[in-house]
Homo-oligomer: A and B are copies of this chain.
Amino acid sequence: MKKIISLFLAVCTALPVFTQEKGKIDIPDLKGYVTLKCDFHMHTVFSDGSVWPVVRVDEAYRDGLDAISITDHLEYRPKKDDLATSHNRSYEIAQAAAKNRKIMLIRGAEITREMPPGHSNAIFLTNADELDKPDYMDAFRAAKAQNAFIFWNHPGWLAQQPDTTLWWPEHTRLHEQGMMHGIEVVNGEYYPEVHRWCLDKKLTMLGNTDVHAPMQTFAPGKHRTMTLVFARSATTEAIYEALMARRTVVYHDEFLIGEETYLKELFENALEWKTRKEGNVVTVTVTNNSDLTFRLKKTRSDARLIYFRNTSIVPFTIAPKSTRSFTVRLLDGIQGGDVNFIVENLLAEPNTGMKYTLKI
């Protein structure tokens, strides 16, 4: 039998394999930081997912991610009669593939409880097995003891919060004891209440897929929900530091959700503006060098600047990798002024586009 297997291993590299190319999503870096694309919430057969851990690495490679964390449930393991029981196995199995694909792999686990406190992910663990405790507080303490970065998952999940997206006293306790560093602002859908909490309580905003089945293939221009992490370098240590320092933006569908300072810098670094003045007409040309989309709508402005006249329903959209122009007419002899608008898909506040002023 040995001989059979060794032969098999020897020839396996000759098998025709579907080759996937590395995906690429152009999002600008920020000053002093690289922008890393991360997904910190996903499952495998080691909990209630349906793929072997290496698949998560292959998918991340194809989707253009830099880092992932596999976060199998500690308490919910419907396949456990068939599978080995260490909570570290999915991480261990994925390691070789991650190294080969150059995907940063972060050890994680999901503490899976009724509400409150619901489900939470602990990542940057050293040993997931130590979190397998009957009392949830013991699980959180074990995570904290490993210096984990801990975040609350999908607080708006209908199954656990059927009527309102509530913050419970238990979350106050976890937060105060340094056992909750962030929350998912997006998991399948956007939770505006969570956006508010993160701004007010200084919590890190995360957006993840929580994928269980094989990850779908995205059409060109589409992408999975991810957390953009602004890190000092492309290392797991730098991701940890950035998460603790709350330097993240959530990228979901066409939306970027985060603190204004990061949204603004992403907006500015993605775009190049040129203006040309002829008489009282200024032609503004903007080039988008990124894969992001920006949808602009006029806000209150000096009545002597005429621009974006009809953007109240249909925004002025700057598509990825494109160049567009618009004109600003200057009345009453003024020589310039403020072009005010919101970028309606950059959410600096819950459900609210980011305000911006272009001086011309």
Does A333 touch B at the CB level, under 8 Å?
no
Pick from B12, B48, B310: contact of A190, CB below 8 A.
B310
Q: Are A18 and B156 in contact (CB under 8 A)?
A: no
Q: Are B347 and A313 in contact (CB under 8 A)?
A: yes
**Please, what's the 1-or-0 string for A42-77, where 1 marks a CB less than 8 Å from any CB in chain B?**
000100111110110010000000000000000110
Which residues of A (111-138) have their CB < 8 Å from a CB of B? 112-114, 134
Query: Which of A29-37, A98-106, A209-217, A229-237 interfaces with chain B?
Result: A209-217
Pick from B11, B163, B188: contact of A331, CB below 8 A.
B163
Does A14 touch B at the CB level, under 8 Å?
yes
**Please, what's the 1-or-0 string for A71-105, where 1 marks a CB less than 8 Å from any CB in chain B?**
00001100101111000010001000000000000
**Whole-angstrom distance between the Cβ of A116 and the nearest chain B Cβ:** 13
**Whole-angstrom distance between the Cβ of A125 and the nearest chain B Cβ:** 20
| A73 to B, closest residue via Cβ | B8
Does A359 touch B at the CB level, under 8 Å?
no
Q: Are B76 and A52 in contact (CB under 8 A)?
A: no
Q: A18, A217, A309, A327: which has the most chain B beta carbons within 10 Å?
A: A309
Identify whether the interface residues of A are mostly helix, strand, loop, or mixed.
loop
Query: With A45-B45, A214-B55 in contact, is A4–B190 under 8 Å at CB?
Result: no
Does A314 touch B at the CB level, under 8 Å?
yes
Q: Are A16 and B188 in contact (CB under 8 A)?
A: yes
**Whole-angstrom distance between the Cβ of A98 and the nearest chain B Cβ:** 15
Q: Are A51 and B50 in contact (CB under 8 A)?
A: yes
| A325 to B, closest residue via Cβ | B19
Q: Are B163 and A306 in contact (CB under 8 A)?
A: yes
CA distance A264 to B75 in the complex (A): 50
**Please, what's the 1-or-0 string for A192-231, where 1 marks a CB less than 8 Å from any CB in chain B?**
1000000000000000000001101100000000000000
Residues of B contacting A241 in the complex (Cβ-Cβ under 8 angstroms): none
Q: Are A14 and B188 in contact (CB under 8 A)?
A: no
Residues of B contacting A3 in the complex (Cβ-Cβ under 8 angstroms): 114
Does A158 touch B at the CB level, under 8 Å?
yes
Q: Are A314 and B190 in contact (CB under 8 A)?
A: yes
| A113 to B, closest residue via Cβ | B4
Nearest 6 interchain pairs by C-beta: A11-B159, A214-B214, A50-B52, A82-B84, A217-B217, A312-B351
Supplied contacts A4-B76, A55-B213, 20 more A-B pairs, CB within 8 Å: A1-B134, A4-B75, A5-B75, A5-B76, A12-B48, A18-B213, A18-B216, A45-B52, A50-B51, A55-B214, A82-B84, A83-B83, A83-B84, A158-B327, A162-B306, A162-B329, A163-B306, A192-B312, A216-B217, A255-B313
